[in-house]
Amino acid sequence: MNVLIHNVSSLEDIQKCLAIRTAVFVDGQNVPIGEEIDGKDGVSDHYLLFADDKPVGVARVRFVENYAKIERVAILGSYQGKGLGKSIMKKILFDLKQNTRSEMVKLSSQIYAISFYEKLGFSVCSEEYMDAGIPHKDMQLTFK
């Protein structure tokens, strides 16, 4: 499988990101559309992952206070379990290490995905809480 990951900003590419997020979160996990489309896309960096020229994965990054926050990491269901989530996360972390705006990265992980993020170096930094009806914990990674 040929995999490419791009930092995107065109309206056409952002629409592709939103379509993947809608399929994964709204259709797949019953997240209300009003919670998924939260008005923060305009102030975020967007990553779009292509597998064999088909857009199948996304994530976004926002800079909040003194840290970067990775959000909306999603891989279409038929492409999950193929290492694509790891690929997009490694690309984002590589880019963030090059950026001097932040030495810390945070994210909000669904409980089932905590071990995935721990393998990338993140550690849990909060108690469990509900977000969009799904249990989550906050996680963080500090670059040294």
Q: What DSSP string runs through 80-114?
A: TTSSHHHHHHHHHHHHHHH-TT-SEEEEEEEGGGH
- The single residue listed with the structure tokens 């800079």 is 63
Q: Does 19 score more than 90 pLDDT?
A: yes
Q: pTM for the full model?
A: 0.94
Q: Does 99 score more than 80 pLDDT?
A: no
Domains and CATH numbers, the chain: 3-142 (3.40.630.30)
| Residue 144 pLDDT class (50, 70, 90 cuts) | confident
Specify the amino acid at residue 76: L
| Residue 61 pLDDT class (50, 70, 90 cuts) | very high
> What is the mean pLDDT of the segment spanning 32-54?
94
> What is the mean pLDDT of the segment spanning 33-54?
94
Contact 25, 58 (CB under 8 A): no
- Residue 89: count other Cβ atoms within 10 Å of its Cβ: 24
In terms of DSSP bridges, do strands 104-110 and 67-75 run parallel, antiparallel, or are they unpaired? parallel
